[in-house]
């Protein structure tokens, strides 16, 4: 590996050179391992860990070149938690051994990751978590309950927050671990949602033993490690760049366009308002992407997440109104846990119901407004009584 590519042409040339190698394996995992080893997995990662230390902006160039050549990908949707949250945290806070051990099979998709942060009693107030980790001669013993864990039922590893000192204020007594999902005491149960499906899980940890080597960062530093994870979650929630009418609005617009018998005068302006709003959110996302590309990451990410949640909820509700009689029916309340069809292929009722979660998951809209008010606009925080008190003493 030479010096990192600095232009799109250089990045493309590297991919072409790689693909022209005579010894490339054709089996999917083998191929992905080779791509990783060539530093063409995530170009902005360091050399030796799947990258070349290049600019983040070159990654899409490489991805497109691989896609154009028809090579297998690592199914990024299936391993989203690993790619978006575990990997940047491992990179920033992991030891050399941890990065070496985990990043390659994470990226190739051989090992799926899940996130063990939220608890029934700690949602918006994640730092109030109760899951306890106590130290003994052999390492750590973890007991607690986690919730809203997607992919837990096929994950190999979980990133886990646990409380190592309940006598410290809540942010200070937390430690970050990599949890072996095959360890004894780990129980994964499907969590059925209002859509009827179980996209997520509850995870019960009953005296699960982890070695001290499973700790990421120092004891008591878990909250600052977790901030890396959460910041990367918010960045990734922006989603893909979509063309006009690319999202839920496209479904609504097509229904209006293609089914004149459903049109009602009182809904026309509502559909147009939704179209305008969707286009505004889309352009905001596009502008955010352009800022990221020139290295000016603005706070617009939280604006997009907040606006997108409201938009999606409005559009899916409007879709029910437009469909009228047809929206009185659902397809099937019981679903297997296998891969589900993409959003556009579901019923309008499913979309409507599932969209209720968009203003809750990954930070409620209420929490986002507070974050925007305080971190972006510089408005003063509320008086807080929970910051200087031992976690044990907090009312809950």
Partner 1 sequence: MTGLLYSEVESALRAELRAMLRQHSDPPARIERADPVDVDLWRRLADMGLAGLLVPEELGGAGASPREAAVVLEELGRAVAPVPYLGCAVVAGTALLSCGEPDLLAGLAAGERPVALAVPFAGPPSGAWSPTVTAAGDRLTGSVRAVADAITAEILLVPAGAGLFAVEARRVRREQCTSLDETRRLCDLSFDGTPGRLLAEGADAETAVRDALLAGAALLASEQVGVAEWCLDTTVEHARGRYQFGRPIGSFQAVKHRLADVWVAVTQARAVARYAASAVAEKSEVEVAAALAQAHCSGVAVEAAEACVQLHGGIGMTWEHPAHLYLKRARSAALAYGAADVHRARLAELVDLPPA
Closer of 243 and 383 to its own copies (Cβ): 383
> Could you write out the DSSP letters of every residue in 126-139?
GGG---EEEEETTE
Q: Determine which one of 119, 197, 202, 233 is catalytic.
A: 233
290 binds partner 1 (CB under 8 A): yes
Which CB sits closer to partner 1, 22 or 378?
378
Distance, CA of 147 to CA of 115 (rounded, Å): 9
Site string for its own copies, 251-270 (x = CB under 8 A): --------------xx-xxx
Q: Which does 327 bind (CB under 5 to 8 A by kind): its own copies, partner 1, none?
A: partner 1
Under rule CB under 8 A, which residues in 89-128 are in contact with partner 1? 118, 120, 122-125, 128
Q: Which does 287 bind (CB under 5 to 8 A by kind): its own copies, partner 1, none?
A: partner 1
Question: How many residues sit in the footprint of partner 1 (CB under 8 A)?
Answer: 92
Q: Cβ(278)–Cβ(308) under 8 Å?
A: no
In Å, how far are 90, 155, 380 from 159, measured between CA atoms? 10, 11, 32
Beta-ladder partners of 51: 47
Residues 315-354 that bind partner 1 (CB under 8 A): 317, 320-321, 324-325, 327-333, 349, 352-353
Listed ranges 153-161, 211-219, 222-230, 303-311: which one lies at the site for partner 1 (CB under 8 A): 303-311
DSSP character at residue 169? B
Structure tokens at 260: 């004149």
68 lines the binding site for partner 1 (CB under 8 A): no
The secondary structure element, H or E, covering residue 276 is: helix 265-293
Answer with the entry of partner 1, its own copies, none that 328 interacts with (C-beta below 5 to 8 A by kind): partner 1
Among 385, 388, 395, 396, binds its own copies (CB under 8 A): 385
Are 174 and 226 in contact by the 8 Å Cβ rule? The answer is yes
Contact 117, 145 (CB under 8 A): no
Q: Are 172 and 101 in contact (CB under 8 A)?
A: no
Q: How many residues bind its own copies (CB under 8 A)?
A: 9
Nearest residue to 253 (alpha-carbon basis) of 273, 226, 233: 273
CA distance 315 to 355: 10
Question: Is 10 annotated in the active site?
Answer: no
Binding site for its own copies (CB under 8 A): 265-266, 268-270, 272, 382-383, 385
Residues annotated as part of the active site: 233
């Amino acid at each position: 590996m030479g010096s990192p590519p600095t232009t799109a042409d250089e990045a493309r040339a590297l991919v072409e050179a790689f693909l022209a190698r005579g010894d490339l394996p054709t089996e999917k995992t083998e191929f992905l391992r080779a791509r990783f080893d060539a530093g063409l997995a995530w170009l902005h990662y360091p050399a030796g860990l799947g990258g070349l230390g290049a600019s983040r902006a070159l990654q899409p160039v490489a991805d497109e070149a691989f896609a154009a050549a028809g090579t297998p990908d690592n199914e990024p949707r299936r391993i989203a938690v690993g790619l978006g949250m575990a990997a940047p945290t491992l990179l920033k806070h992991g030891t050399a051994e941890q990065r070496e051990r985990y990043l390659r099979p994470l990226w190739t998709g051989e090992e799926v990751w899940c996130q063990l942060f939220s608890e029934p009693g700690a949602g918006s107030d994640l730092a109030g978590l109760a899951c306890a980790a106590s130290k003994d001669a052999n390492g750590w013993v973890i007991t607690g309950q986690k919730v809203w864990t997607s992919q837990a039922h096929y994950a190999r590893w979980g990133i886990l927050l646990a409380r190592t000192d309940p006598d410290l204020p809540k942010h200070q007594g937390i430690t970050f671990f990599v949890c072996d999902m095959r360890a004894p005491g780990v129980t994964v149960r499907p969590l059925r949602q209002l859509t009827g499906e179980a996209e997520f899980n509850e995870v019960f940890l009953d005296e699960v033993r982890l070695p001290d080597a499973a700790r990421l960062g120092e004891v008591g530093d878990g909250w600052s490690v977790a901030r890396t994870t959460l910041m990367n979650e918010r960045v990734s929630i922006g989603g893909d760049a979509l063309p006009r009418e690319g999202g839920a609005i496209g479904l609504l617009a097509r229904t209006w366009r293609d089914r004149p018998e459903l049109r009602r005068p009182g809904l026309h302006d509502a559909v147009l308002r939704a179209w305008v709003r969707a286009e505004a959110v889309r352009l905001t996302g596009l502008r955010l992407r352009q800022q990221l590309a020139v290295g000016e990451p603005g706070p617009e990410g939280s604006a997009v997440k907040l606006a997108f949640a409201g938009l999606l909820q409005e559009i899916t509700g409007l879709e029910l109104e437009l469909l009228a009689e047809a929206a009185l029916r659902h397809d099937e309340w019981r679903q297997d846990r296998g891969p589900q069809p993409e959003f556009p292929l579901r019923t309008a009722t499913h979309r409507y119901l599932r969209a209720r979660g968009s203003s809750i998951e990954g930070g409620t809209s209420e929490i986002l407004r507070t974050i925007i008010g305080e971190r972006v606009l510089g408005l003063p925080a509320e008086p807080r009584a929970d910051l200087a008190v031992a976690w044990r003493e907090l009312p809950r």
